[in-house]
Amino acid sequence: MFEARLVSCAVFKKVLEAIKELLNEASFDCSESGIQLQAMDISHVSLVSLMLKSNGFDKYRCDRNITMGMNLASMSKIFKCANNDDTVTIKAQDDADIVTFMFESKKQEKISDYEMKLMNLDQEHLGIPETDFSCVIKMPSAEFARICRDLSQFGESLVISCTKEGVRFSTNGDIGNANIKIAQTSNFDKEEESVTIDLQEPVTLTFACQYLNHFTKATPLSPQVQLSMSDNVPLVVEYVIPDLGHIRYYLAPKIEEDEN
Amino acid sequence: MGILNLTKLLQDVAPIAIKESEIKNYFGRKVAVDASMCLYQFLIAVRSEGAQLTSVDGETTSHLMGIFYRTIRLLENGIKPVYVFDGKPPAMKSGELGKRAEKRAEAQKALDKAAEAGDNAEIDKFTRRLVRVTKQHNEEAKKLLSLMGIPYVDAPCEAEAQCAVMVKSGKVFATATEDMDALTFGSSVLLRHMTFSEARKMPIQEIHLDKILESLKLNQNQFIDLCILLGCDYTDSIKGIGPKKAITLINEHKSLEEVLKHIDTTKYPPPDNWSYKEARQLFMEPEVQDPETIELKWTEPDEEGVVKFLCGDKQFSEERVRNGIKKIIKTRSGSTQSRLDGFFKVLSSTPAKRKIDDDKKNSSNKRGKMGGGGRGRKPK
């Protein structure tokens, strides 16, 4: 028996929004420690790693580890039927082939049940090595989303270069070039609005805008985003979901073509 | 061409070995394209109002049109193609080639009849059957490819065999052909529908040899025997033994020698002088060029050269050709997207445990779909 309950289903809705553009379907691994998801997009360029810790739920019970393969578009349809302040309960029997979502309105006067068929999905678990990153940037998530959106109008690739002066985002395309430079903030009054750079050595990497724009769909989950980069390893974009866990995106860099 | 009913058999017993995906997911991959196969496709398919495209003096140019635009399509999707051309056919193929010649003669007769009767649909049908890739087609295609900066390889013998060794050696990611015997030659990955026109919206079929062997519980040699039993280009097969029976026999007896010992030869008479051993030898050790000696280089296209070759006599529109070349040049600039699998190791892959019973449940459905899947096969 698996049961997980969240008083506000808004978070869950946001999580879905944050992954459904990259993944069509995904396997949620439920265990005592929480709900986990790890999946690559179809072209194997990016990876989503989601962790929702069991102690972040208002009620959580998982007798046996189960894996639930879900179609995210269908799941999203179901969550569209719920209000943000509804309480959501996710239930499944061990070895079940359906999952139940129950939404209770705030005043408890309305209860809706949705059953969804589970899917059998091929799963590939990737081992992600622990990396000491050359630079770790923390910045307001909305700012990062804005930069990705603005610059993606100019070109397909975004160059992120991080030095001790700050972070430079740049792109070039048919109409010309665009550059945005962000400096570390000195004022620490509002942590949420600050930009901090933890730099071991300068790094410059190129990424496909398209994927970054998918990642920034997670912006509503967290006021801050953390970008971790090292030469020749994938970028990690992390959003902390307050009290519940995190969502991390990994993105393989674009590399310069060697002579074939 | 290829192995009789292998696709259908695989869809039945090893569905996990066949994946479908979009062409754009193959960015950055080097792919060996079976040139004879795709030239043939182009000759059949690239037509305007049912007739092949021709130059001013009536020479066909459909193959050049195909090579030019479909190669650009591959490049635009980030794929690096290398075309592999057939060399001399193996002696053992003479039987098969003879049969094809016979069929062609029949088609010619039928065509004459249809022409007399003035039946256009029939004329169209039989002219298509008469299509064959000539030496001149090959030479022209090679010339165009080198002008476009695309590498090609002349196989000493069968192109599929050459593609297979190139895949095995890691020179390229996969063989792109419709011909299933690339798998018999040991190509670890086979891509089908790669050079189909975009308009057909056919998903790419990616077939993995290791998954086939795993699902069928065979090793490569047994798989070769299975293919011979199903029916290959090099020798006849036993009448009355279909795919189902073939796989059961190989699973049970492991080799053709043993199969022959155990089957009732009066009921299933093997062909006279059945040369299965030679066919097996051909699949196991085909005549190929050592992949290590092949250097693959994708170079800058020669715009003026291509224009000179295609426009003028061959009646290609200069504007469109130049646009095409621009597209090639564009694909050469900029950086390439890498894949996460290059950085992270796959720890485990679980083809969900319930999958097996599920497949059984759905098998009746699946079979229905298969008829459709088989349509991709060439009528040859």
Q: How many whole angstroms separate alpha carbon A180 and alpha carbon A155?
A: 14
Q: Give pLDDT, residue B374.
A: 38
A113 and A7 inside one domain: yes
B80 touches chain A (CB under 8 A): yes
Is-contact A6 A88, C-beta < 8 A? yes
- Name the maximum alpha-carbon separation found in chain B: 66
A161 and A111 inside one domain: no
Q: Give pLDDT, residue B5.
A: 86
How close are the terminal C-alpha atoms of chain B, in Å?
7
Looking at the complex, report in whole angstroms how far the Cα of residue A201 sits from the nearest Cα belonging to chain B. 21
Tell me what the mean pLDDT of segment B23-46 comes to.
Answer: 89
Tell me what the mean pLDDT of segment B256-284 comes to.
Answer: 86
B379 touches chain A (CB under 8 A): no
Residue to test with chain A: of B337, B350, B354, most A Cβ within 10 A? B337
A186 and A217 inside one domain: yes
A103 and A212 inside one domain: no
Q: What is the pLDDT of residues B166-204, one digit of tens each?
A: 999 999 999 999 989 899 999 999 999 998 887 788 899
Q: Which of B35-49, B181-195, B320-334 has the lowest mean pLDDT?
A: B35-49
Residues of B with Cβ-Cβ distance to A97 under 8 angstroms: 354
Helix (H) or strand (E) holding A49: strand A46-53
- Sheet of A157-162: strand order equals A177-183, A166-172, A157-162, A203-208, A254-255, B336-337
- Confidence category of residue A257, pLDDT binned at 50, 70, 90: low
Tell me what the mean pLDDT of segment A142-166 comes to.
Answer: 93
Q: Give pLDDT, residue A153.
A: 92
Please name the amino acid found at residue A3: E
Q: Give pLDDT, residue B162.
A: 95
Helix (H) or strand (E) holding B130: helix B120-130
Domain boundary among A91, A117, A143: A117
A124 within some domain: no
List the domain range (segments joined by +) for residue A248.
135-259
A9 and A95 inside one domain: yes
pLDDT of B340 > 70? The answer is yes
CA B226 → CA A186, A244, B64, B241, distances in Å? 72, 55, 37, 11
- Confidence category of residue A258, pLDDT binned at 50, 70, 90: low
- Confidence category of residue B263, pLDDT binned at 50, 70, 90: confident
- Confidence category of residue B373, pLDDT binned at 50, 70, 90: very low
Q: From the list A120, A234, A250, which residue is nearest B355 (CB)?
A: A120
Residues of A with Cβ-Cβ distance to B337 under 8 angstroms: 45, 208, 252, 254
Question: Both tokens of residue B169?
Answer: 């050696």
A199 and A255 inside one domain: yes
Q: Which residues lie closer than 8 Å to A72 by C-beta, 6 or more apart?
A: A16, A19, A20, A23, A24, A25, A26
Tell me what the mean pLDDT of segment B42-62 comes to.
Answer: 80
Looking at the complex, report in whole angstroms how far the Cα of residue A35 sits from the nearest Cα belonging to chain B. 18
Q: How many whole angstroms separate alpha carbon B161 and alpha carbon B86?
A: 9
Q: Give pLDDT, residue B350.
A: 67
Q: From the list A67, A126, A255, which residue is nearest B338 (CB)?
A: A255
pLDDT of B314 > 80? The answer is yes
Report chain B's mean pLDDT, rounded to a whole number: 84
Domain boundary among A70, A91, A117: A117
The ipTM of this complex is 0.81
Tally of domains within chain A: 2
Is-contact B157 B288, C-beta < 8 A? yes
| H-type alpha helices, chain A | 10-19, 72-80, 141-151, 209-215
Domain boundary among A82, A117, A152: A117
- Confidence category of residue B355, pLDDT binned at 50, 70, 90: very low
The share of chain A scoring above pLDDT 70, in percent, equals: 98
Q: Give pLDDT, residue B378.
A: 41
Tell me what the mean pLDDT of segment A245-258 comes to.
Answer: 89
Domain with residue A77: its CATH number is: 3.70.10.10
A105 and A140 inside one domain: no
A128 within some domain: no
Q: Is the entire prediction scored with pTM above 0.90? A: no
pLDDT of B51 > 80? The answer is no
Ranges of beta strands (E only) in B23-143 are: 30-34, 47-48, 51-52, 80-85
Beta pairing class for B174-176 and B30-34: parallel
Tell me what the mean pLDDT of segment B345-366 comes to.
Answer: 52
Q: How many whole angstroms separate alpha carbon B303 and alpha carbon B308?
A: 9
Sign of CA dihedral A162, A163, A169, A175: negative
A104 and A141 inside one domain: no
Answer whether A40 sits within 8 Å of B298, measured CB to CB: no
A125 within some domain: no
Phi first, then psi, for residue A28 (nearest 5°) are: -95, 120
Q: What is the pLDDT of residues A190-205, one digit of tens each?
A: 778 899 999 999 999 9
pLDDT of B372 > 50? The answer is no
A111 and A173 inside one domain: no
pLDDT of A47 > 90? The answer is yes
A14 and A85 inside one domain: yes
Is-contact B31 B80, C-beta < 8 A? yes
Q: Which residues of A touch B (CB under 8 A)?
A: 27, 40, 42-47, 67, 69, 97, 120-129, 156-157, 206, 208, 233-234, 250, 252-257, 259-260
Whose CA is closest to A118, among B356, B18, B352, B369?
B352
Helix (H) or strand (E) holding A205: strand A203-208
With CA atoms as reference, the chain A residue closest to B349 would be: A124
